[in-house]
Structure 1
Amino acid sequence: MLIKQLKIGDLIAKVPVIQGGMGVGISRSSLAAAVAKAGGIGVISGVHVGYDEEDFEKNTLNANLRALKKHIIKAKENSNGGIIGLNLMVAMNNYEEHVKQAISAGVDLIISGAGLPTKLPSLVKGTSVKIAPIISTSKAANVILKMWDRKEKVTADLIIVEGPQAGGHLGYKKEELQNIDNIDYDKEFVEILKVAKAYGEKFNKEIPVVAAGGIFTGEDVLKYINLGASGVQVGTKFVGTYECDASQSFKDTYINATKDDINLVISPVGMPGRAIHNKFIQRVSSTRPKITKCYNCLIPCNPKDTPYCISEALINAVKGDIDNALLFCGANAYKVDKLYSVDEVIKELTSKL
């Protein structure tokens, strides 16, 4: 049986798997290229992609933009003609500059969440770059597609539906996530399929809808394909790969985690996410660390009252300073038992198709 391809306009992925964008630095050119080469869609996270550039501390924006171009080009070169996307958070500062840099570097697809990407269509206008909002509800899907239609006379090329078991910056309230059994993600997913169909008919195009959050096995993938998904987005499982850009220490936190280690946390921008419990989480729950530098990364963040610097905590994570790090993860991180190759992960995810 032939595995179903994921078609996004003229972009065709041989396998219907998008690798989730994970920042800071967890998914850069190494992981993205490997996933794209294996037939999926590799995604670079645009959050502080230049964290290891020499001038990052003094010249943060320029370092990030330079690194973004470098990693997109490198991923494209190493992907054997595969599809490379970029994940950008709407809540980040300098969003527009990152979009423009990604386009100039030859990115194929821009995926955007942590807010509604209202300006994205105007920024890619006149290019072949595909755009995809990340949403969690049919209401959000309606809002963004209606806005794009009204303002720009365009619609989404792809919709990613992030469920309550995903990692960071979720579109749910913490109280909702504490009662996760009350969230009927499958029902919401079907409603979003209807929204995508309506706008697809209006614009005479197919809008693929992709399921995301907590997808870990071939059975999970088959379930959503049968529900009507065109594909899936997977993040956590790709952390447990040799090709993942994170330090071995970061990968080991997933491998060694138990289910009880995974906690709900509120990031400094007020959005809930999941993280592996560690000394850092313990410390910031009772003491506010001294913030010595602001990286000016997120629009809603104020260094005067933020509980901790999320940039510093995530940079520590990717570098392997685990005791001083925020270890974002999906709900199934404890199921990562050892390192696999990207090819092995793709093979397992598509094993039931």
Structure 2
Amino acid sequence: MKMKELRIGDLVARIPIIQGGMGVGISRCNLAGAVAKEGAIGIISTAQIGYDEEDFDKNPIKANLRAIDKHINKAKEISGGGIVGVNIMVATNQYEEYVKTAAKSGADLIISGAGLPVSLPELVKGYTVKIAPIVSSQKATSVILKMWDRKYNTTADLIVIEGPLAGGHLGFSPNQLEDIEALNYDEEIKKIIEYKKEFEEKYNKKIPVVVAGGITTREDIKHYLALGADGVQIATRFVPTLECDASMEYKMAYINSNKEDIVITKSPVGMPGRAIRNPFINQASQGRIPVDRCFNCLEHCNPKETPYCITKALINAVKGDLEHGLIFCGARAYEQNKITTVKEVIDELVF
């Protein structure tokens, strides 16, 4: 088996790898641009992307919208004409504005999850940007594709299937995550691949499927391509690279972690999340960490009730304050053992 290019409409990636979007600040212009330069698809996370803008504390949404434009353009410049997209969480406050800003700024692709992106086709009308929902089940795929078909007479340009071994927020229940083998997830992937065929026929277009979650080796990629996927999305492997936008302390947390350190934690987004156990995780597991200010990041978050402020925790982590930071990661983060480069990672994965 040989890798084939990944075609998303008129977008053609020579290497069928999408670098997963990681917030806050883990995948911005430097990482996404470097990945796109190598012929894969670089993804910027818009989650509190403007955390280091000077007016972020006073007006986080304004700072984020400005930073979206800045990082998309910088990534494009770094990539030398490569494919650069964004990951926008549906749970984001002012989701519509984030989507419209990304489209206006020239993003090639918008990947959207952490909720059902039901309004996404409407928000990108008039732009050439491609749209991709993140799904974790055939049921969720059905809901989104049927709704887009009925309401907007359109369908997805790409589907990202995010499995139970992914990092950050997960579309599974804590019980499901306790016994991942029982999920028999390969069968779910096959169901999704089969299900989307009716929409391909109706709209006379190919809807490529990309699988994400726990993919770290060439053998993993071969496995999912053999199941019928058109490509893979990989995030964890790109964290301990020189180009990753996180602090060196953050990168070293991956390298220094053991298998037992990777845990499922409760996120204020309302979904389970996978992260590296550290003093912050230990403190959060003991009880609520009071929130002293709100950054308006999530649509359904009450600062008086949330278990902790996810923005503050993620900003602390990306800056290197691991004592007070939340370090999201994939299930196999502990396998990372050295600081490398984006080129070296991709060269190792390509076949």
Provide the residue aligned with 1:75 in structure 2. Answer: 75
Q: Percent identity?
A: 61
For structure 2, the 5+ residue unaligned runs are: none
Matching residue of 1:84:
84
Q: TM-score, normalised by structure 1?
A: 0.98
Query: Residue 212 of structure 1 corresponds to which residue in structure 2?
Result: 212
| Contact 2:104 2:127 (C-alpha < 8 Å) held by counterparts | no
- Matched with 2:11 is 11
Amino acid at match of 2:169: H
The answer to whether the Cα contact below 8 Å between 2:43 and 2:85 also exists between their aligned partners in 1 is: yes
What is the CA–CA distance in structure 2 between the aligned matches of 1:71 and 1:234, rounded to whole Å?
20
Q: Partner amino acid for 1:215?
A: I
Q: Match of 2:227?
A: 227
How many residue pairs get matched?
351
> Whole-Å Cα distance in 1 between the matches of residues 332 and 2 of structure 2?
28
- Which residue does the alignment assign to 2:114? 114
Offset at 1:270?
A: 2.0
For 1:247, the equivalent position in structure 2 comes to 247
For 2:285, the equivalent position in structure 1 comes to 285
Deviations 1:30-75 (A, max 9, x none): 0000000000000000100000000100011111111110000000
Q: Distance in 2 between matches of 1:325 and 1:63?
A: 21
Mapping 1:3-42, distance limit 5 Å: 3-42=3-42
AA of the residue aligned to 1:133: P
Secondary structure of the corresponding residue to residue 322 of structure 1: coil
| Contact map agreement 1:196 1:209 (CA 8 A) in 2 | no
Q: How does 1:1-353 map to 2 (within 5 A)?
A: 3-350=3-350, 353=351
TM-score by length of 2: 0.99
Give the C-alpha shift of residue 2 in structure 1: 6.2
Q: Distance in 2 between matches of 1:142 and 1:289?
A: 38
Equivalent-residue separation in structure 2 for 1:211 and 1:292 (angstroms): 38
Secondary structure in structure 2 of the residue aligned to 1:223: helix
Q: What is the distance in 2 between the residues matched to 1:178 and 1:314?
A: 25
Cα RMSD (Å): 0.9
Deviation track 1:66-122 (CA, whole Å, cap 9, x = no partner) reads 111000000011101100000000011011111111111111000000011000000
Between the aligned partners of 2:211 and 2:62, the Cα distance in structure 1 is 34
State the SS of the aligned residue for 2:329: coil
What are the ranges of 5 or more consecutive residues in structure 1 without an aligned counterpart? none
After the TM superposition, which parts of structure 1 deviate over 6 Å for at least 4 consecutive aligned residues? none
The one-character-per-residue Cα deviations of 1:169-212 (angstroms, maximum 9, x if unpaired) are 11100111011111111100000001121111110000000010
Partners of 1:14 and 1:213 in 2: CA distance: 21
**Distance in 2 between the 1:274 and 1:3 partners?**
30
Q: In structure 2, the residue corresponding to 1:324 is in which secondary structure?
A: coil
Q: How far apart, in 2, do the equivalents of 1:150 and 1:243 lie?
A: 42
Kept in 2: contact 1:86–1:102 (CA 8 A): yes
Deviations 1:310-347 (A, max 9, x none): 00000001000000001100000001101111011111
Q: Give yes or no for contact 2:290–2:307 (8 Å, CA) kept in 1.
A: no
